[in-house]
Structure 1
Amino acid sequence: MKKFLLMLLLAGFCIPLGVQAQAPKKVSIEGTVTEYNTKEPIAGCVVSIPTLELWVVTDAKGRFRMPSVTTGSYTIEATCLGYEPLSYKVTITASIGALSLRLKESSLQLNTVTVTAQRGRSINSSSTIDRQAMDHLQATSVKDVMQLLPGVVTSNPDLTSSSYNFIGIRDLNPNMTSVETLGVNSSTVGIYVDGASVKNDASLVGEKATGFGQPVSKGIDMRTISTDNIESVEVVRGVASAEYGNMSAGAVIVKTKQGRTPYEVRVKAVPNTKAVALTKGYALGPDKGFLNVGLDYANAMKDIRTSKDAYDRGTFSVNYSNTFNRDRTPFQFNAKVSGYLSKGTSKPDADDLSQDERKFLDDKSLSLNLNGSWLLNKSWITSLKYVLSHTMTREYARNKALSTFVGVANPGATEPGEGFVEFTPHDYMSDIRNLSMAYYTNAKLMAEVSGRYGKVYNKAMLGAEWSNSGNTGKGQYYEGVRPIQFRPQPFSDIPFMNQMAVFVEEKVTLPVGKTSLTLQAGGRFTYLATDRLNDKWAVDPRFNLKYTIISNRAPKKVRELSLRAGWGIQTTLPGLYTLYPFASYIDNYSLRLPAAGERPAMEAWTTEVTTAEELSNRDLKMQYSKNFEVGVDFEMFGIKGSIAYYNEKMRNGYSTMYTPGVYSYREYNYSGAETPVYIDDPNNPGQKVLGVNGEPLDYETVTKFKRIAKPGNNNKYDKQGVEYTFDFGQIRAIRTSIIVNGAYMQMKNMPDVGVKQLFDLSYNSGKIQINGENVYNPVYGGYDGGKSLQGTAIRKRFNSNFSFITHIPKLRLITSLTVQCVWLDRSRNFKNSGVYYEDAEGNKIYDFEGQVDGTLYKDPDWYMDAAGNVLPFDPSLYDGELGNAFQIYRTTSTNSSLFVQNSFKPYFMANIRITKEIGNIAQISFYANNFTNSRPKMKLQSTGSYRMVNTEMYFGAELKLKF
């Protein structure tokens, strides 16, 4: 595969050189861009020929000149912020000296207004959402925009909870716990803002070790990306270009505003959220560029009756854009400084005296982004594109509460060993703090060569990308009294991590009779510079194919018809915490003495430490997905449509892998009145032991088991489905368009574990009764595939959204009524390996499905003895001398319907949105989700419980002023 991609690279850059002798002649195009009604010149408008990757920006008088254009038939496009894009088809045989392009200002007065997601320009499955669609949707964050994609059902915005503000692509809602447990999360979605990758894998707040747990990052909190200063959002659902890396479930590409705009003030009010925003695009003068400024503030409360749980967000951005050397080799330069401040708080209700816990997270970020393009238009290179970004993020979390651990021993050693410990006060506040200072740097340089050679259109791309991330924060610490069993976790101990990638891509369009074939093939080579992985390379080949049978045909029954397919591998790299986990600790008491005379109560504890090095996994593999899709796009009989089948297989999903271990410590047998002290151990030279009057105390050596939680690759999922969109056009008599979109989606989550790879612990460290004696459990049972009775989890959903969009230009009014229909909603958990039930005669039945008659069981696959030996488990051990010990590890459930399929009847809801313009100065919008309050209860056959479907009734209004 690597050799193939290298050959592809050479071919892409040699094709233009090999055909120069037969290349058509070059001409120039000159013209002006003006406003449609006033005929005033428009400065800063981008005029381009996408097929040739040529572009130019108009000057202060709206003039442009595009030299060295290959003769042929093309579509010339003109785009400018605040105006409707214009496409102009032209056949170029000679130079054009006075091309006039007239743009219409975006307004509801226009005959055509788009408030839905449109098919993207890529040859894969992608959707583009423009500014008008976001205004009509009244989106507060990018998460809200995702509702316009086929197959996505409505969800109400909630800024108070980060768990509701992560995004997934082609994901079913994680209603089943197994979906969340198996790592299906938005960390696999690539987020790109103005060309720069946005990541938070170095932000370790919330990623600290809890016991032995290794939490998995969920990706970018989309609350931090406001929509007010966004021009467009593109969502790539299919196989992405090789330009995009470190993602495996698709990409969200955000483009912010650049150009002149009036002052815009937006005021938004919904039941639990209030928001205000100000944006303005300044024209700095002839050839001096533009300055776009945006400010945003939002306040949200979990419950409007109390401010107990609240969230505040403020964002800002300042973007300077200009194009230099317009007439010869235009150099486009954009410099943006942006940031956000957010604060989430959780405090006691003033009327609830039983609560005394306060939590808050203070999050601040500052980013610098430099990006642009240099159009060289040479035979060997067409353009250079560049991105350089740096982000600093400060997160400060605090949890202050009245501690319930009062007057008890408080071990806190960070080194293994035994020693006396302090006691907590009888009344104190636990004040745990967490400070993260994360830094991200991303640099990308990309060279392109494109043109028409004979009848062949060719575009070759070669690029390199470097990313650096790290954290210098203080980490987890405390103020005042040390909380129970607290250990500091400084983030600055983790080294910075570097990622380097080279990517290449070739796109060729060939004529095939009256049809055409477009092939896009590329690959991405990524190297992760770390000493914690043996396999540091990721190779991602990607292919897309489009066969255009009919294109841009004059008005006939069939105007457009094309077939497309794609296949590729997309890799998500591990984050800092996955590669560099913190040490973990186990504390056991060795001696407990009550107060006696003048001697205070005292306790000695032993600390067992599993170091960060022991918790790392150098055999960790990189998480990747294999993506395949095939689709058809058409426009026939007045209907525009798109249908796509997709199949995505994610493997090596990051998770936690448990391995067993054994450790020992001393328990002393002493209850005298004298105070013991540490003395030299006569039986173990160089070690200390507790003693009285120079004599060692009697003790018993206790052996216990522990589990070591390492990063692993134990998860996988399969996603497949069919997405569809049909635009039936407008019924002119009532000026109403009908659009239907939706999807059939199936998601299968599977624990992918091999022998002795996942050890699930149900170990009781306390004493149990064996043969009439209370002893520590002498065995530790484990499972090759986890102790859970549930194995693979499958969910299926088939939904349709019927949108009725009424647009009345004379009234400057647009309304959309969307009826959401979920025709099928099923979920099922299949049994794990080794699950059985017993019939009336006591026979074990392993081969069954669905409902059973009796209790469900799963036995361990192996066990470990006190010497650390791993031995196979046999059910006869339940009846042996250690029967009580083994019974602890036997998983049981009296729910005989656990593996029955949950199937809901069809359910429906309706949403309405209204947008009205008042002249050129104001716009009023209103929306109501589930305005009929349709929330039927559906029975979960696997548990017998009921669940309400559809979102709660939710409404909001928005006022936008322009001046």
Structure 2
Amino acid sequence: TTGKGIDMRSISTDDIAKVEIVRGIPSVEYGDLTSGLVNIERKKGGNDLEARFKADMQSQLFYVGKGIELTDKQFTLNTGIDYLDSKIDPRNNRENFKRVTGSIRAEKRWTNDHWRLAFNSNLNYRGTFENDKNDPDLTPSGAIDSYESSNNALSLAGTLSLNNRKKGFFRSLSLTASASGSWDNIHQEKTVVPSKLSVVPTATQPGVHDAEILPSTYLASLDVNGNPFNAFVKAIATFNYNYRNWFNIIKVGGDWRMNKNYGEGQLYDMRRPISIDITTRPRPFNDIPAEHNLAFFIEEASKLRLGKHRIDITAGLRSASLLNLDNRYVLDGKIYLDPRVNAKWALPRIGERKPLSIELSGGVGWHTKMPDISKLYPDLFYYDLIQLNFFSNENPAVNRMNVRTFVDDLTNYNLKAARNMKWEVRADFSIDDHRLSVTYFREKMTSGFRQGKSYTRYIYNRYSTEGLDPSTMTGPPDLADLTFTPDTILKVQSVHTNGSRILKEGVEFQYSSKRFPIIRTRLTVNGAWFRTTYNNSQPVYKRPSVVIDGRQIRYIGLYNEDDGYIRESFNTNFTFDTDIPRLKLGFSTSIQCMWFTSSQSMWESGVPIAYVNMEGELLPYTDAERNDMILQHLVEPHYENNFKKRTIPIDANINIKVTKKICRDKIALALYVNRLVSYHPDYTLFGNTIRRTSNPYFGMEINFRL
């Protein structure tokens, strides 16, 4: 699904050295992040040869990596390659996934008494492959149904950093550049058996034309060729100045990002489409303009010591804009400003032998999310209305299917960036290696992206074939000789809008104990309560699925309420981590508890506030329309159960993992079982008993370090 993120299966984790979690409102350096920052640092240096094999109920993974570190030359080189073969269900050959990744990473440093210069670069390859063939249990005899996809991606990145070792006003300068491209290919073949008489509209321009009738069975093929390319450049300079107990670091920088797809797009025979319901035409991806994001930022981080108190304040401002846009877009030349502030107050320690440390933190910030290419440049909408349908099995030479094609541009030139405001407060406590953190956050967005609705009025002719005798005809009927009746259709269409209103709030908590010496165990407890309220901030056009005299109701209603819901959940995880160095043995036991999840649809009256008549006029919907024999059907029926709260009770699982090191810690063996013990009690929802089941999940892995 476009615009929704990336396939997590394509990410390799074996070359990761550590993962840093940055809490609070993210720095203005990091763009539109709203939920903290996950900073991944990859392995660097060392001279070990590492290998890993992992197998579980769905996949097998092989990895090998090697590091080279020349200390005297201040040079490191790391390489790694892995192969993953995943089968979600081994019994179903349509569900499989293969991945190959490889990377080469190098770093060179130059150092003198005043400066330290470093350059690191990395070259990465990722390939993913799927090959789904016929399943005899699912495909009729003689039919073809296959799907193949491959993705080959290359990326090259480099960072040049200069640091001042004398700690003057100028501290550092960093330049980062990266480029990545991939070759995505999909090939699908399918035997299509239309369930009804269907036409093949092939026109790409509006107007009247004859269309071909699809055969009762045919073989369709589809190729999708994509070649997305991404480029990124970022520059950051940091400066430092201090005054007595006041320490300051200033960060200034900017970044530019470019996205463009140079692929050919969908390639198929329009006379034999892969689906009879297709409403688009082949569109080359390379016809879509490139997206350019430009941003600048400035930030100051201050540390102030007042006796035993310490106050940290980080304040920054980020600007964001889209380039390379037509002047019809309201985003053209528009600059969004995102101010963000984080503050932390470290109180004096309480007590002497085992002092209690308390930190109070808070932050607030705005975040701007630009629409992606699929929202800025949607596909053209093709609407084909049959004006004449004359068909004879006895005399196919007289068959004629005449269609009027309408082509609409559904681009919303008034589409704006989505703006989100988030604030949070946090308290951190620590004593004797026991740590507790509690955070409350709240964020609100009133301009989120969604598929809104608009309507268009289409006028066409309906030709009458009354009186025509196929047995006496020598050719298809001539439109000029036929009588017709003008007809009008109101069509509801999807268009990207800023119509989503989202309110999120929650409490996150984490407690970690010290490692108790007798049982060599540390307890970590974390969890969260979340509540999300979602609704549509704009009225929506809808046509009820009511059939009158053999046709769907021809009027369209405008409704205030649509798609609103409230979702809530509360979960807690308990992790017992036991380390026994004498036995070179480690145990990890986790208890995952989802105490409850609930959802509730917001009330909808089902009564429109207005309606559209056949002339395309928007008129108020009053009691008179509600009593009209036709217009009364615009009132959508709703049932009380649709708006009742649905609550799912506790869902708990116990997972274990055992790790054993052997051969002087050169080899580590691990066995894990997820859902070893599960608690999923039956529950009743609206008089129905819901039964839940769970199956254990086993896996093992072996790591070598030579």
| TM-score normalised by the chain length of structure 1 | 0.68
Find the partner of 1:890 among 605, 614, 635: 635
Structure 1 residues 272 and 776 mapped into 2: Cα distance closer, same or farther (>3 Å)? closer
Whole-angstrom CA distance in 1 between matches of 2:161 and 2:684: 57
1:924 aligns with 2:674: no
Alignment of 1:788-803 (within 5 A): 792-803=564-575
Ranked by relative contact order (alpha carbons within 8 Å, sequence separation 6 or more), the top structure is 1
1:937 aligns with 2:682: yes
Query: What residue in structure 2 maps to residue 863 of structure 1?
Result: 611
Query: What residue in structure 2 maps to residue 220 of structure 1?
Result: 6
Question: The residue matched to 2:624 in structure 1 has which SS?
Answer: helix
Moved more, 287-296 or 349-358: 349-358
Question: The residue matched to 2:9 in structure 1 has which SS?
Answer: helix
Query: What residue in structure 2 maps to residue 503 of structure 1?
Result: 297
Query: What residue in structure 2 maps to residue 398 of structure 1?
Result: 187
Structure 1 residues 761 and 945 mapped into 2: Cα distance closer, same or farther (>3 Å)? farther
| Offset of residue 554 of structure 1 | 9.5
Whole-angstrom CA distance in 1 between matches of 2:134 and 2:626: 49
Task: Note the residue ranges of structure 2 that are not aligned, 5 or more in a row.
Answer: none
| Offset of residue 492 of structure 1 | 1.2
Assess if the C-alpha contact under 8 Å between 2:297 and 2:318 holds in 1: yes
Kindly provide the CA deviation profile for residues 561-616 of structure 1, in whole angstroms up to 9, marking residues without a partner as x. 211111111121110011010101111111122247572422111111112xxx11
Q: Which amino acid aligns with 2:620?
A: P
| Offset of residue 699 of structure 1 | 1.1
Find the partner of 2:235 among 433, 439, 445: 445
Assess if the C-alpha contact under 8 Å between 2:169 and 2:241 holds in 1: no
| Offset of residue 763 of structure 1 | 5.8
Query: What residue in structure 2 maps to residue 750 of structure 1?
Result: 535
Query: What residue in structure 2 maps to residue 533 of structure 1?
Result: 329
| Offset of residue 952 of structure 1 | 4.0
Structure 1 residues 261 and 913 mapped into 2: Cα distance closer, same or farther (>3 Å)? farther
1:903 aligns with 2:700: no
Question: The residue matched to 1:661 in structure 2 has which SS?
Answer: strand
Query: What residue in structure 1 maps to residue 516 of structure 2?
Result: 731
Query: What residue in structure 2 maps to residue 200 of structure 1?
Result: none
Task: Note the residue ranges of structure 1 that are not aligned, 5 or more in a row.
Answer: 1-205, 208-216, 679-689, 836-857
1:609 aligns with 2:407: yes
| Offset of residue 704 of structure 1 | 0.4
Assess if the C-alpha contact under 8 Å between 1:859 and 1:875 holds in 2: no
1:550 aligns with 2:336: no
Whole-angstrom CA distance in 2 between matches of 1:286 and 1:358: 56
The runs of at least 4 aligned residues of structure 1 exceeding 4 Å deviation read 774-778
Whole-angstrom CA distance in 2 between matches of 1:388 and 1:947: 53
Whole-angstrom CA distance in 2 between matches of 1:414 and 1:479: 14
| Offset of residue 461 of structure 1 | 0.2
Whole-angstrom CA distance in 1 between matches of 2:132 and 2:615: 48
Q: Which amino acid aligns with 1:523?
A: L
Structure 1 residues 436 and 889 mapped into 2: Cα distance closer, same or farther (>3 Å)? farther
Structure 1 residues 905 and 960 mapped into 2: Cα distance closer, same or farther (>3 Å)? same
Query: What residue in structure 2 maps to residue 409 of structure 1?
Result: 199
Assess if the C-alpha contact under 8 Å between 1:261 and 1:281 holds in 2: yes
Question: The residue matched to 1:933 in structure 2 has which SS?
Answer: strand
Question: The residue matched to 1:910 in structure 2 has which SS?
Answer: strand
Find the partner of 2:548 among 751, 768, 790: 768
Find the partner of 1:759 among 534, 541, 561: 541
Query: What residue in structure 2 maps to residue 710 of structure 1?
Result: 495
Structure 1 residues 389 and 655 mapped into 2: Cα distance closer, same or farther (>3 Å)? same
Alignment of 1:639-788 (within 5 A): 639-670=434-465, 672=468, 673=473, 675=475, 690-691=479-480, 696-753=481-538, 757-762=539-544, 768-769=548-549, 777-786=553-562
Whole-angstrom CA distance in 1 between matches of 2:92 and 2:619: 57
Structure 1 residues 285 and 641 mapped into 2: Cα distance closer, same or farther (>3 Å)? closer
| Offset of residue 390 of structure 1 | 0.6
Find the partner of 1:590 among 384, 387, 394: 387
| Offset of residue 368 of structure 1 | 0.6
Assess if the C-alpha contact under 8 Å between 2:399 and 2:476 holds in 1: no
Whole-angstrom CA distance in 1 between matches of 2:444 and 2:22: 17
Q: Which amino acid aligns with 2:385?
A: N
Find the partner of 1:872 among 620, 628, 634: 620
Structure 1 residues 373 and 805 mapped into 2: Cα distance closer, same or farther (>3 Å)? same
Kindly provide the CA deviation profile for residues 366-411 of structure 1, in whole angstroms up to 9, marking residues without a partner as x. 1011124210356341100121011102222233211113874211
Query: What residue in structure 1 maps to residue 309 of structure 2?
Result: 515
Assess if the C-alpha contact under 8 Å between 1:419 and 1:606 holds in 2: yes
Moved more, 433-442 or 502-511: 433-442
Assess if the C-alpha contact under 8 Å between 1:781 and 1:886 holds in 2: no
| Offset of residue 520 of structure 1 | 0.4
Assess if the C-alpha contact under 8 Å between 2:314 and 2:342 holds in 1: yes
Assess if the C-alpha contact under 8 Å between 1:402 and 1:428 holds in 2: yes
Whole-angstrom CA distance in 1 between matches of 2:247 and 2:305: 9
Kindly provide the CA deviation profile for residues 38-82 of structure 1, in whole angstroms up to 9, marking residues without a partner as x. xxxxxxxxxxxxxxxxxxxxxxxxxxxxxxxxxxxxxxxxxxxxx
Whole-angstrom CA distance in 1 between matches of 2:69 and 2:518: 42
Larger % of strand: which? 2
Query: What residue in structure 1 maps to residue 178 of structure 2?
Result: 389
Assess if the C-alpha contact under 8 Å between 2:200 and 2:270 holds in 1: no
| Offset of residue 478 of structure 1 | 1.0
Assess if the C-alpha contact under 8 Å between 2:598 and 2:648 holds in 1: yes
1:364 aligns with 2:149: no
Query: What residue in structure 2 maps to residue 634 of structure 1?
Result: 429
Question: The residue matched to 1:877 in structure 2 has which SS?
Answer: helix
Alignment of 1:469-484 (within 5 A): 469-478=259-268, 482-483=272-273, 484=276
| Offset of residue 429 of structure 1 | 1.1
Compute the RMSD of aligned alpha carbons. Answer: 2.4
Kindly provide the CA deviation profile for residues 449-469 of structure 1, in whole angstroms up to 9, marking residues without a partner as x. 125432221110000101111
Assess if the C-alpha contact under 8 Å between 1:749 and 1:794 holds in 2: yes
Assess if the C-alpha contact under 8 Å between 1:661 and 1:705 holds in 2: yes
Whole-angstrom CA distance in 2 between matches of 1:559 and 1:360: 60
Query: What residue in structure 1 maps to residue 213 of structure 2?
Result: 423
Whole-angstrom CA distance in 1 between matches of 2:596 and 2:88: 31
Alignment of 1:121-160 (within 5 A): none
Query: What residue in structure 1 maps to residue 582 of structure 2?
Result: 810
Whole-angstrom CA distance in 2 between matches of 1:887 and 1:747: 34
| Offset of residue 252 of structure 1 | 2.7
1:373 aligns with 2:161: yes
Question: Number of residue pairs matched?
Answer: 687
Whole-angstrom CA distance in 1 between matches of 2:552 and 2:670: 67
Kindly provide the CA deviation profile for residues 127-184 of structure 1, in whole angstroms up to 9, marking residues without a partner as x. xxxxxxxxxxxxxxxxxxxxxxxxxxxxxxxxxxxxxxxxxxxxxxxxxxxxxxxxxx
